[in-house]
Amino acid sequence: MSGTFALTYDDGPDPIWTERLLALLRRAGARATFFVMTPRAVLNRELIAAMLDDGHEVGFHCYRHVRHSEQTEGELAGELATGLDQLGSVGVEPGAWRAPWGVETNLTRQLAAEAGLRLWGWNLDSHDWRRDSAEQMLSAVEAQGGLWAGDVVLMHDGLGPGALRSGCEETLRLTGALLEAAGALGLRPAPVSECRGVLA
């Protein structure tokens, strides 16, 4: 097997866990995509700079972590405008957008098209927010069919609403395990916008 797949991380950047994750990815020579919460990006602009320096993709996740289905047209349009302004202030012009909880509406798709943003979901969910161990999460990925070219893996480098864990240590361990498994399969991690496969 050969090809690319995407490691993606939502809800950061986090001053502790994102920094450790970036170091892990750097050691592995791997690139990923970070769908950031923009207030956290502004507070941790040095981490955003590090992501860009290391060749990662920085995408827009949200300004407020609220389902799009629960927002009015004006609220969602304002959410996007504010988020893009905040990302611009830290040197990011995103091409990718992932909605909170993956909940998209027709308005989401309209706004994305107008802003030139590609909407991204995932097809492999780690459920890392649940406090599962890396071993449990890797088994779940394997139960979903294992890694294939074009796969998009959902993980979190920050603690978002509803998280049942107090840290992201197991996500870091899972990342290492996924990189090892991918290497054995001849798969290369790449930012979502560079991937070709089932979701591209």
Please, which residues bridge with residue 8 across strands?
Answer: 33, 154
- Residue 163 tokens read as 């998280």
Tell me which fold the domain 3-194 belongs to: TIM Barrel (3.20.20)
Give residue-wise pLDDT tens across range 26-63.
999 999 999 999 999 999 999 999 999 999 999 999 99
Phi/psi-derived region of residue 34, left when phi > 0, alpha when psi is between -120 and 50, beta in every other case = beta
Among residues 94, 99, 100, 101, which one has the least CA distance to residue 115?
94
Q: Which amino acid is at 91?
A: G
Q: Collapsing DSSP states into helix, strand and coil, what is residue 61? A: strand
Distance from C-alpha of 27 to C-alpha of 197, rounded to nearest angstrom: 26
DSSP 93-132: --SEE--GGG---HHHHHHHHHHT-EE---SEE--GGGT-
Distance from C-alpha of 16 to C-alpha of 168, rounded to nearest angstrom: 9
Distance from C-alpha of 190 to C-alpha of 57, rounded to nearest angstrom: 9
pTM: 0.96
Counts of helices then strands in the chain (DSSP H, E): 7, 8
Q: Enumerate the domain spans of the chain.
A: 3-194
pLDDT for position 1:
57
90 has pLDDT over 90: yes
Among residues 54, 13, 15, which one has the least CA distance to residue 35?
13
170 has pLDDT over 90: yes
199 has pLDDT over 70: no
Distance from C-alpha of 146 to C-alpha of 112, rounded to nearest angstrom: 30
